[in-house]
Structure 1
Amino acid sequence: MDTFFTSAELPEGLRSAFAESRISLSLADAKAEDMPLIAVNQPFCDMSGYGPDEVLDRNCRFLQPNESPDAVRKDMREFLYDSDKPDGRFVIPNVTKDGRKFLNLVYMAKLKKDDEVTFVLGSQFPVDPEKASEPDLYDRALKESLKQLNLLSGDDNWALLGSFDALASSHSIIARARME
C-alpha cells in the first residue's frame, strides 16, 4: 500500500505501520508550528480525494468546511495541548476534494520520543451522512460538539463504534511501539 512522507526522520517501524494499514492514517508533526501533516497513507488519500502533494505540509483542518462547529475544534485543540491526554476521539464534519460531505470519526494518539510528544497519529473513519440513521446528522454536527458518539446511530452500532475504537487503538499501540 502506498504511503507518503515529507520527513526522512521517521522511524522505519512507523513507516511500515503506515504502509501495512488498510485504514486511513495521518501523522502530524507535533513540534512544528500548526502541526502539519508529514505522512498519510493511500486510504487517507482515497477517503479525502486529495493527493499527497495537496495534503502534506498542511494542517488537516483544510478538510473542514468553514461552518464547522467551533466546539469540536476547541475540543480538538484542548486535547492537542493537554499533556495529560494521550488519546482523543472526535466527530468532525469534513468535505472531500470533490465537495462530498461526510462525518469523520477521528481518533488521535500522541506519540512520544524521549518523553516529548513528537507526532500525532490520526486514524480516520468516514461516515456518510446519507447512510447515517439520522438524515440531518451532518447538519447538526455543524452546530454542536458530538462528544456523545451514540448520535451516529442506535444502540446496535456501539459494537461498530467499538470496532473503530479497537482498530484505532491497535494502530496507536503499534505506532508507539515502533517509535523505538
Structure 2
Amino acid sequence: MINQLDLPPALHDYIKKSGVALALSAIEDDAPLLVVNKAFCDMTGYSEDEVVGHNCRFLQGPDTTDSARQPLHDFVHGNGGDSGRFPILNYRKDGSAFHNYVFMSRLKDTGGQPQFILASQFDMTTALKRSQISLNDEKLQDVLSDVGQIGREFGLAMMGSAGLLADSIALMAKLTFDDSQR
C-alpha cells in the first residue's frame, strides 16, 4: 500500500499548505486516506494520526442516507467520470452533524492510470440552514428551482463558487502530480 513517504513531495506539500479542507486517498483497497491537511482536521475534529489509513466513511453517521452514500461508493470504486460532487451528511469527532459538500477527482499518472483520489470538502451547514432547505437530498432536489432566487441573499451562491474552487484545486493538484511524474 502507498504511504505518505511514497507521495510526490510537491503534491504532499500542496495539500498541507492549502487552506481548503483536503484529503488524499489511495485508489486501491478501501481507498485509505494517505494525507489530510489542517483545514480537514479543523472541520472534522479528528487529528491526522486518527484518520490516515482509514476510509473517509468514518465521517458518516446514523442520519447519513444510503442515497447519499452510494454515489461516493461508486466513485471510489472507479465508476463514473474523473471528478464528481457529492453532498453528504457527515459527523465530526464530537458527534455533531455537518453538511459536507465533497468534490473528488482522480489523479492519474503519466500513463493515464488513476493513482489517488483528491477530495476537497466544504461545510455547507450554515448556508443550508439559512436558506431553510431540507436536510435530505430528495427535498433539496425539490427546491433547487428556488435556489436561484434566494441564493445570493442566503449565501447559496457559495455552492457554485465552492465547485469552481474545488475544480481549481483539483486542477492544481493534477498539474503538481503530473510535474512530479516527469
Instruction: Please indicate the TM-score interval, normalised by the length of the shorter structure.
Output: 0.7 to 0.9
Partner of 2:5: 8
How many residues were matched structurally? 172
Q: What SS does the corresponding residue of 1:90 show, helix, strand or coil?
A: strand
Q: What SS does the corresponding residue of 1:132 show, helix, strand or coil?
A: helix
Q: What SS does the corresponding residue of 2:10 show, helix, strand or coil?
A: helix
| Greater percentage in helix | 2
Aligned positions of 1:22-41 closer than 5 A: 22-31=19-28, 33-41=29-37
CA contact (8 A) 1:110 1:121 kept: yes
What percentage of residue pairs aligned between the two structures are identical? 33
Q: Could you tell me which amino acid in structure 2 is paired with residue 52 of structure 1?
A: E
**Gapped runs of 5+ residues in structure 2?**
none
Q: Give, in angstroms, the shift of residue 72 of structure 1.
A: 1.4
CA contact (8 A) 2:127 2:156 kept: no
Separation (CA, whole Å) in 2 of partners of 1:81 and 1:159: 31
Partner of 2:44: 48
Q: Give, in angstroms, the shift of residue 71 of structure 1.
A: 1.1
What is the TM-score when the length of structure 2 is the normalising length? 0.83
Q: What SS does the corresponding residue of 1:137 show, helix, strand or coil?
A: coil
Q: What SS does the corresponding residue of 2:54 show, helix, strand or coil?
A: coil
Q: Give, in angstroms, the shift of residue 149 of structure 1.
A: 9.1
What is the TM-score when the length of structure 1 is the normalising length? 0.83
**Gapped runs of 5+ residues in structure 1?**
none
Separation (CA, whole Å) in 1 of partners of 2:72 and 2:158: 23
Q: Give, in angstroms, the shift of residue 155 of structure 1.
A: 3.2
RMSD: 2.7
* Larger CA Rg, structure 1 vs 2: 2
Q: Give, in angstroms, the shift of residue 40 of structure 1.
A: 0.0
Separation (CA, whole Å) in 2 of partners of 1:89 and 1:146: 15
Matched, 1:110 2:106: yes
| Greater percentage in strand | 1
Separation (CA, whole Å) in 2 of partners of 1:45 and 1:51: 6
Separation (CA, whole Å) in 2 of partners of 1:164 and 1:136: 18
